[in-house]
Each structure stands twice: as C-alpha cells, then as structure tokens.
C-alpha cells in the first residue's frame, strides 16, 4: 500500500493543535485526580477536590476555545477512509465536544448543589461562582439535583474513557498499519517513520499524566474567605460529593467532599487517632417512628463498628458501622415479622446495611457531626450523624442521633410508599460505649 503524506494544507492549524494537546493533557491528569477522590479523608483528599474543580473548569474553557477556533478556522479534510470509519471518526469527534462540555458543567452543578457551600478558587487564587439559582432551591430539590448530577458525571467519565480508547486505537491503526501519516494532521512535530514512535510516546505520556494525577503530592488548601452569604452552611453540614465519574464535591458520584479545615488545624493535626473496641452489651442502634395504630420502636441485635477516632485528629478519624439487617427487632411482634420482608428491609436480598464516615467536625465542646454515606437496600445516600462524646481515660461514651428519609432508600413499598400513615423520616438513636485498644 502506498504511503500517504499530508502537506501543510492537510494539517490542523497551530492554534487547534495547541488547544487539542492542552485539553488532552488536562483530561489525562483529571482522570488520575478523579481516582483519588475516594481516598481517605484528610488535607490531601480535600486539596485533590479543589484541584479537580480547577482542572475541570480549565477543560471547559479550553473546549469552548476549541469550538470558537473551529468556527473561525476551516479544519483539514478527512483522509480517504472507509464509509464506516468516516462515520465513526465524525461521531467520536462530536462526542468529545459534548462530553468535554457536559462533564465540567455537571461537576459545577454538583458543587453548586452541595449542602455545604464551599467556595471555589481556581488554583487557589481566582474565585469561581456557583451556578446562579441552585443555592435557593428547596432542600429536597437541591438534593435531587446533586444526585442526578453526580450520577451523570460518573457515567460520562466512563463514556469518555471508552471514547478515548476508540480514538487512540483508530489513530494507531491508521498510523502504524496503513502506512499513512495520519498523525501528521495533529502532531506538531515529526514526520515519516518518526510519527510511529511519536504515536506510542503520546500514549505513554497520556498514561503518565493519569498516574501523576493519581499520585502527585498536594499541599493542604486554605480557601480564601468568601462573602458570608456565599459560604453559609446548611443547617446540617455534610461533606459534599464531587465527580467520577464518578467525578464527584460529587457524587455525581457519583460522589461527598470533606469540609474545608483552617490551615492552622491541618498543621496541628499531628495526633494519631486511637482504635476503639465497642462494648456490644452496653451499646445499641435503635429507630423510632409512628403510624396510625401506634408507635414503631425497634433496633438491631447484630452489628459491628470499626472506629478510629480522636478529637484532636478529626481529619484522620474514621468509622464504619455494618448492620446485620436480619437481626432487626421491634417491640410489636407483628411489626417484627413484617420488617424483614421485601416491602421494608428486604433482608434476603440486602442482608447488610453499611454506614461509612466521610469526615468529622466539632460543633463545640463535646459535640460533633459526622458526615457519612449510608448504604441500605442497595441504595447509597448521605447521612450525617450528630453525636456527643465523652472520653474518660480509655473509655469512650457516645450518644448520637440521625434522621433517615426511608423513601430515599425504598424502605416501604407498595401501599407503604406513601407517608400518610407512616412518616417518611425515621429517627435513629445510637448509643456506644467503647474501650481504647492499646
């Protein structure tokens, strides 16, 4: 097959080439950053969230610049391709434009709809506003927007990775196996045989940038002050989620971003939190609600808690509570027999529920709020827990409470899905006594 060479008229313009590779580099680095957002809570993770937001807005601006450039500069014609390849190349090209606009916008929506209005400063310097009108939404509407944006952000991240794989494989196929200098259209340097090596080098560079985003050390972030109205937290603070992609301040997602901590607190957090062993005989997880025929009082007989905590090391503290849903009990025998059924906890298909902390913050004295995620009946939603903690020597006593909207988890199906007889919000009470593990 005769080798095809492209002259300058078949190449993209210098501006298009520059924007293309800047966007590719930023996106590769962004993927690595996204993968580390589910890491342990602390200054590094928070700094990664802030940088993830900055790179996302940068990608959005680069994409808009690329579109503006394309509208004012005619792109080179496509080389001779089979009809199916031409259609595929065009489709992937336009898909990139859609994804590179909607992904940053969905991430911006996640940040704007977060219950904790943490301000955004691009690269720690340039203030970036939230999307107008989102902060004034009703709590339920804002939560719905946050969930949808988080899921969308994560899904689009995976679609983007698949599109990149197709794009790269197609370019390598044409360059390495069809003896055509296809890369010469977009690569700012190299010709002839050199382009084959350049193709492989670009792939290695893309993977390297992903790894850099995943592992780069980030200094703790101290956000510049914002107007009080812009940063006033919601009545119950919880860590906002940020995309994927999951993405994320999301969840998209899915996923929540930990609340900002003052720089002096980060610097002072040198205490290593202790591990605690729960005294199960002196601890309990109970719930309370009511219906037209009387109260609903119950709890769980089997559960475990993995707790690492110290009031002076909140950033490094964590807790995971795993509940055996088959151990559900109720004061009323009829309720006790009904709760394991599919209309309620569906214990046969979802035998466990898990609450995992995302961050802790002090609200003064011995009072704290733990932001976390509850997974119940296969559904994961944010669930903050307010608690009081006293530590005397090596014994800790904790009493906590939370309110769970059962409808978000599908607890109560069919005629029980409505909240006329049984309220949607259930009160949860937690009592824990634990011993410090030497």
Residue 237: predicted pLDDT:
38
Predicted structure pTM score: 0.43
**Looking at residues 125-147, what average pLDDT do you find?**
85
- Evaluate whether 101 touches 94 at the Cβ level (below 8 Å): no
**CB count, 10 Å around CB of 14?**
10
Could you tell me the pLDDT band of residue 253, with boundaries at 50, 70 and 90?
very low
Could you tell me the pLDDT band of residue 240, with boundaries at 50, 70 and 90?
very low
Residue 62 domain flag: yes
209 and 323 within one domain: no
Could you tell me the pLDDT band of residue 375, with boundaries at 50, 70 and 90?
very high
User: Any idea what the CATH number is for the domain that residue 14 is in?
Assistant: 1.20.950.20
Q: Percentage of the chain with pLDDT > 90?
A: 30
197 and 85 within one domain: yes
Query: In angstroms, what CA-CA distances link 217 with 100, 213, 214, 233, 418?
Result: 26, 9, 9, 29, 49
pLDDT of 389 strictly over 90: yes
213 and 290 within one domain: no
User: What tens digit of pLDDT does each residue of 143-165 get?
Assistant: 898 889 888 888 888 888 888 87
Read off the DSSP letter of residue 173: I
For the chain, the average pLDDT equals: 77
284 and 188 within one domain: no
**Looking at residues 208-220, what average pLDDT do you find?**
60
User: What tens digit of pLDDT does each residue of 195-212 get?
Assistant: 545 555 655 665 666 666
CA dihedral 27, 29, 32, 38 (to 10 degrees): -80
Residue 342 domain flag: yes
Judged by average pLDDT, the poorest of 72-81, 326-335, 414-423 is 72-81
**Looking at residues 58-77, what average pLDDT do you find?**
86
115 closest CA partner among 222, 232, 224, 226: 232
Could you tell me the pLDDT band of residue 193, with boundaries at 50, 70 and 90?
very low
Read off the DSSP letter of residue 18: H
Task: Give the integer Cα–Cα distance in Å for 47 and 50.
Answer: 5
Could you tell me which residue, 282 or 253, shows the higher pLDDT? 282
Residue 262 domain flag: no
**Looking at residues 55-67, what average pLDDT do you find?**
89
Parallel, antiparallel or unpaired: strands 367-376 and 379-382 = antiparallel
pLDDT of 241 strictly over 50: no
Residues 6 or more apart in contact with residue 10 via CB below 8 angstroms: 76, 77, 79, 184, 185
Return the SS3 of 239. Answer: coil
Return the SS3 of 236. Answer: coil
- Evaluate whether 123 touches 223 at the Cβ level (below 8 Å): no
292 and 164 within one domain: no
pLDDT of 168 strictly over 90: no
Could you tell me which residue, 383 or 1, shows the higher pLDDT? 383
Residues facing 308 on adjacent strands: 275, 318
User: Any idea what the CATH number is for the domain that residue 399 is in?
Assistant: 2.40.128.110
- Say how far residue 124 (Cα) sits from the centre of its chain: 20
Residue for token pair 């031409």: 86
Residue 261 domain flag: no
222 and 302 within one domain: no
- Evaluate whether 12 touches 69 at the Cβ level (below 8 Å): no
Return the SS3 of 151. Answer: helix
User: What tens digit of pLDDT does each residue of 99-114 get?
Assistant: 888 988 988 888 888 7
Could you tell me the pLDDT band of residue 115, with boundaries at 50, 70 and 90?
low
Domain final position from 173, 203, 231: 231
129 and 176 within one domain: yes
Residue 133 domain flag: yes
Parallel, antiparallel or unpaired: strands 294-300 and 126-128 = unpaired
Domain count, the chain: 2
Residue 252 domain flag: no
Q: Which two tokens stand for residue 61?
A: 């601006």
Residue 167's domain comprises 8-231
Task: Give the integer Cα–Cα distance in Å for 25 and 202.
Answer: 10
319 closest CA partner among 360, 378, 379: 360
Residue 194: predicted pLDDT:
52
Residue 323 domain flag: yes
Task: Give the integer Cα–Cα distance in Å for 13 and 25.
Answer: 19
Domain final position from 185, 206, 231: 231
Residue 364 has φ and ψ, to the nearest 5°, of: 115, 130
Residue 245 domain flag: no
341 and 412 within one domain: yes
223 and 304 within one domain: no
pLDDT of 352 strictly over 90: yes
pLDDT of 94 strictly over 90: no
Residue 212: predicted pLDDT:
63
Which run of H or E residues covers position 364?
A: strand 352-364
Could you tell me the pLDDT band of residue 7, with boundaries at 50, 70 and 90?
very low
Return the SS3 of 281. Answer: helix
Burial pattern 215-224, b for ≥16 Cβ within 10 A else e, equals: eeebebbbbe
Domain final position from 231, 254, 279: 231
- Evaluate whether 137 touches 149 at the Cβ level (below 8 Å): no
310 and 167 within one domain: no
Read off the DSSP letter of residue 307: E
Residue 307: predicted pLDDT:
96
427 and 314 within one domain: yes
215 and 119 within one domain: yes
Q: Which two tokens stand for residue 203?
A: 């792939």
Could you tell me the pLDDT band of residue 192, with boundaries at 50, 70 and 90?
very low
Which runs of consecutive H residues, i.e. helices, occur in 36-138? 43-72, 83-112
- Evaluate whether 242 touches 250 at the Cβ level (below 8 Å): yes
Most confident of 78-82, 131-135, 354-358: 354-358
User: What tens digit of pLDDT does each residue of 288-309 get?
Assistant: 998 766 788 899 999 999 999 9
Task: Give the integer Cα–Cα distance in Å for 190 and 193.
Answer: 8
Task: Give the integer Cα–Cα distance in Å for 429 and 399.
Answer: 8
């Amino acid at each position: 097959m005769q080798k095809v060479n492209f002259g300058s008229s078949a190449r993209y313009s210098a501006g298009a080439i520059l924007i293309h590779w800047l966007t590719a580099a930023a996106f590769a680095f962004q993927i690595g950053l996204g993968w580390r957002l589910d890491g342990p809570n602390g200054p590094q993770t928070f700094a990664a969230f802030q940088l993830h937001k900055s790179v996302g807005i940068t990608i959005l601006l680069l994409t808009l610049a690329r579109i503006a450039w394309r509208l004012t500069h005619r792109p080179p014609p496509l080389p001779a391709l089979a009809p199916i390849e031409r259609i595929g190349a065009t489709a992937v090209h336009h898909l990139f434009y859609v994804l590179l606009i909607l992904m940053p916008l969905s991430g911006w929506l996640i940040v704007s709809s977060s219950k904790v209005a943490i301000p955004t400063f691009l690269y720690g310097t340039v203030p970036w506003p939230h999307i107008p009108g989102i902060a004034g939404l009703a709590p339920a509407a804002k939560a719905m927007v946050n969930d949808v944006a988080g899921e969308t952000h994560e899904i689009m991240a995976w679609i983007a990775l698949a599109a990149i794989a197709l794009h790269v494989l197609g370019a390598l196929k044409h360059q390495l196996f069809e003896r055509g200098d296809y890369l010469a259209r977009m690569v700012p340097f190299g010709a002839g045989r050199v382009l084959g090596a350049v193709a492989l080098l670009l792939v290695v560079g893309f993977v390297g940038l992903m790894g850099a985003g995943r592992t780069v050390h980030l200094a703790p972030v101290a956000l510049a002050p914002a107007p009080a109205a812009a940063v006033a937290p919601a009545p119950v603070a919880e860590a906002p989620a940020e995309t994927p992609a999951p993405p994320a301040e999301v969840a998209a997602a899915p996923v929540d971003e930990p609340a900002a901590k003052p720089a002096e607190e980060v610097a002072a957090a040198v205490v290593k939190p202790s591990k605690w062993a729960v005294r199960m005989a002196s601890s309990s997880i109970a719930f309370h609600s009511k219906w037209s025929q009387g109260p609903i009082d119950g709890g769980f007989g089997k559960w475990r808690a993995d707790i690492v905590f110290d009031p002076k090391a909140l950033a490094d503290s964590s807790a995971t509570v795993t509940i055996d849903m088959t151990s559900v009990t109720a004061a009323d025998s009829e309720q006790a027999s009904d709760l394991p059924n599919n209309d309620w906890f569906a214990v046969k298909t979802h035998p466990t529920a898990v609450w995992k902390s995302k961050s802790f913050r002090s609200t003064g004295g011995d009072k704290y709020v733990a932001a976390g995620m509850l997974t119940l009946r296969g559904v994961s939603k944010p669930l903050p827990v307010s608690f009081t903690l006293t530590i005397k020597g090596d014994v800790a006593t904790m009493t906590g409470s939370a309110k769970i909207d059962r409808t978000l988890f599908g607890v109560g199906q069919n005629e029980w899905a409505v909240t006329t007889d049984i309220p949607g919000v259930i009160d949860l009470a937690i009592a824990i006594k634990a011993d410090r593990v030497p």
